[in-house]
Amino acid sequence: QIQVAESGGGWVQPGGSLRLSCVASGDFHDIYDMDWYRQAPGTEREFVASISQSRRVMYGDAVKGRFTISRDHAKKTVHLQMNSLQPNDTAVYYCNMEIRRTIFSFEEKYWGQGTQVTVSS
Q: How far apart are CA 67 and CA 23, in angstroms?
A: 19
DSSP 8-state assignment for residue 106:
P
| pLDDT tens digit sequence for 86-108 | 999 999 999 999 999 999 999 99
Q: Tell me, what's the pLDDT at 63? A: 98
| pLDDT tens digit sequence for 46-83 | 999 999 999 999 999 999 999 999 999 999 999 999 99
Start-to-end CA distance of the chain, whole Å, equals 40
Q: How far apart are CA 93 and CA 95, in angstroms?
A: 7
| pLDDT tens digit sequence for 1-54 | 899 999 999 999 999 999 999 999 999 999 999 999 999 999 999 999 999 999
Q: Tell me, what's the pLDDT at 114? A: 98
Q: Tell me, what's the pLDDT at 71? A: 97
